[in-house]
Structure 1
Amino acid sequence: MASQSSQLDPVKLGLFVSRMESVCEEMGAVLQRAAFSPNIKDRLDFSCAIFDAKGELCAQAAHIPVHLGSMAYAMADIVDACEWRPGDMVVVNDPFLGGTHLPDVTVIAPCFDDAGVLQAFIANRAHHADIGASAPGSMPLSKTLEEEGVVIPPTVLVRSGVLDKGLLNAWFGDGQHGDFIAQVSANRTGLLRLSEVISALPIDFAVAVNQLQNYAEGIARRRLAELPSGSFAFTDFMDDDGFGHQQLPIAVTINLSAEGVLVDFSGSAPQVAGNINCPLSVAAAAVYYVFRCLMPDEVPVCAGLFRPISLSAPEACLLNARRPAAVAAGNVETSMRITDAVLGALAQAAPELIPAASQGTMNNIAMGGRGAG
Structure 2
Amino acid sequence: MVEASEEVRFDPLKVEVFHHLFAAAAEEMGVSLQRSAFSVNIKERLDFSCAIFTADGAMAAQAAHLPVHLGATPLSVAAAIARHRLAPGDVVFLNDPFDGGTHLPDITSVEGVFDPDAMNAGEDPEPLFYCVSRAHHADVGGAFPGSMAPARDVHGEGLRMPPVKLVRRGTIDQDLLEMFLANVRVPAERRADLLAQLAASRAGVVRLRAMMREHGAAELTARARDLVAWTASLTKDRIASLKPGTWRFEDVLEGGADGRGELLPLRLALLSDGERLVFDFRDSAAQAMDGAPVNTTRAVTVSAVFYCLRLLLPEGTPTNAGILERVEILTTPGTVVDAAYPAAVAAGNVETSQRLVDVILGAMARMLPLDVPAASAGTMNNLSFGGTTASGRSFTHYETHGGGAGAGPRFAGAHAVQTHMTNTRNTPIEALETEMPVRVLSQTVRRDSGGKGARAGGDGIVRRLRFLVDVRLAWMGERQRQAPYGLQGGQRGSLGTASVQPPGEPARTLDPKAALDLPAGAEFEVRTPGGGGHGDLPPV
Higher mean C-alpha deviation, range 77-86 or range 30-39: 77-86
Q: What residue is the counterpart of 1:340 in the other structure?
A: 358
Deviation at 1:195, TM superposition (A): 1.1
Match runs of 1:230-269 below 5 Å: 230-242=245-257, 245-269=261-285
Is structure 2 residue 169 aligned with structure 1 residue 160? yes
Looking at structure 2, the residues matched to 297 and 166 of structure 1 have their Cα atoms a distance apart, in angstroms, of 47
Q: What residue is the counterpart of 2:157 in the other structure?
A: 148
Query: Which residues of structure 2 form unaligned runs of 5+?
Result: 1-8, 119-124, 394-540
Q: 2:193 aligns with which of 169, 179, 199?
A: 179
Residue type matched to 1:33 in 2?
R
Q: 2:65 aligns with which of 53, 63, 66?
A: 63
Q: 2:299 aligns with which of 259, 276, 281?
A: 281
Residue type matched to 1:340 in 2?
D
Is structure 2 residue 318 aligned with structure 1 residue 300? yes
> 1:263·1:311 contact (CA, 8 Å) conserved in 2?
yes
Give the number of the structure with larger relative contact order, counting CA–CA contacts within 8 Å between residues 6 or more apart. Answer: 1
Residue type matched to 1:186 in 2?
A
Q: What residue is the counterpart of 2:370 in the other structure?
A: 352
Q: What residue is the counterpart of 2:379 in the other structure?
A: 361
Q: What residue is the counterpart of 1:3 in the other structure?
A: none
Deviation at 1:296, TM superposition (A): 1.2
Match runs of 1:55-94 below 5 Å: 55-94=57-96
**Alignment size in residue pairs:** 367
Q: What residue is the counterpart of 2:206 in the other structure?
A: 192
Deviation at 1:240, TM superposition (A): 2.4
Q: Would the alpha carbon gap of residues 337 and 124 (structure 1) be closer, same or farther in structure 2, given more than 3 Å must change?
A: same
Secondary structure, aligned partner of 2:61: strand
Looking at structure 2, the residues matched to 117 and 280 of structure 1 have their Cα atoms a distance apart, in angstroms, of 29
Match runs of 1:5-44 below 5 Å: 9-44=11-46
Deviation at 1:209, TM superposition (A): 1.6
Looking at structure 2, the residues matched to 282 and 117 of structure 1 have their Cα atoms a distance apart, in angstroms, of 29
> 1:73·1:284 contact (CA, 8 Å) conserved in 2?
no
- For 1:192-228, what per-residue CA distance to the aligned partner results, in whole angstroms no more than 9, with x for missing partners? 0011122322653332222111111000111121110
- Provide the alpha-carbon RMSD of the alignment: 1.5
4+ residue segments displaced more than 4 Å? none
Looking at structure 2, the residues matched to 255 and 72 of structure 1 have their Cα atoms a distance apart, in angstroms, of 24
Deviation at 1:8, TM superposition (A): 5.8
Secondary structure, aligned partner of 1:225: helix
Looking at structure 2, the residues matched to 82 and 362 of structure 1 have their Cα atoms a distance apart, in angstroms, of 34
- For 1:271-290, what per-residue CA distance to the aligned partner results, in whole angstroms no more than 9, with x for missing partners? 00221000100111111111
More helix by share: 1
* TM-score where L is the length of structure 1: 0.95
* TM-score where L is the length of structure 2: 0.66
Deviation at 1:12, TM superposition (A): 1.8
Is structure 2 residue 228 aligned with structure 1 residue 210? no
Structure with greater Cα Rg = 2
Q: What residue is the counterpart of 2:243 in the other structure?
A: 228
Looking at structure 2, the residues matched to 118 and 107 of structure 1 have their Cα atoms a distance apart, in angstroms, of 15
Higher mean C-alpha deviation, range 43-52 or range 9-18: 9-18
Q: Would the alpha carbon gap of residues 245 and 141 (structure 1) be closer, same or farther in structure 2, given more than 3 Å must change?
A: same
Q: 1:137 aligns with which of 143, 146, 162?
A: 146
Deviation at 1:78, TM superposition (A): 2.8
Instruction: Calculate percent identity across the aligned residue pairs.
Output: 40
Deviation at 1:98, TM superposition (A): 2.5
Higher mean C-alpha deviation, range 185-194 or range 113-122: 113-122
Query: Which residues of structure 1 form unaligned runs of 5+?
Result: 1-6
Residue type matched to 2:66 in 1?
I
Looking at structure 1, the residues matched to 197 and 221 of structure 2 have their Cα atoms a distance apart, in angstroms, of 26
Q: Would the alpha carbon gap of residues 317 and 13 (structure 1) be closer, same or farther in structure 2, given more than 3 Å must change?
A: same
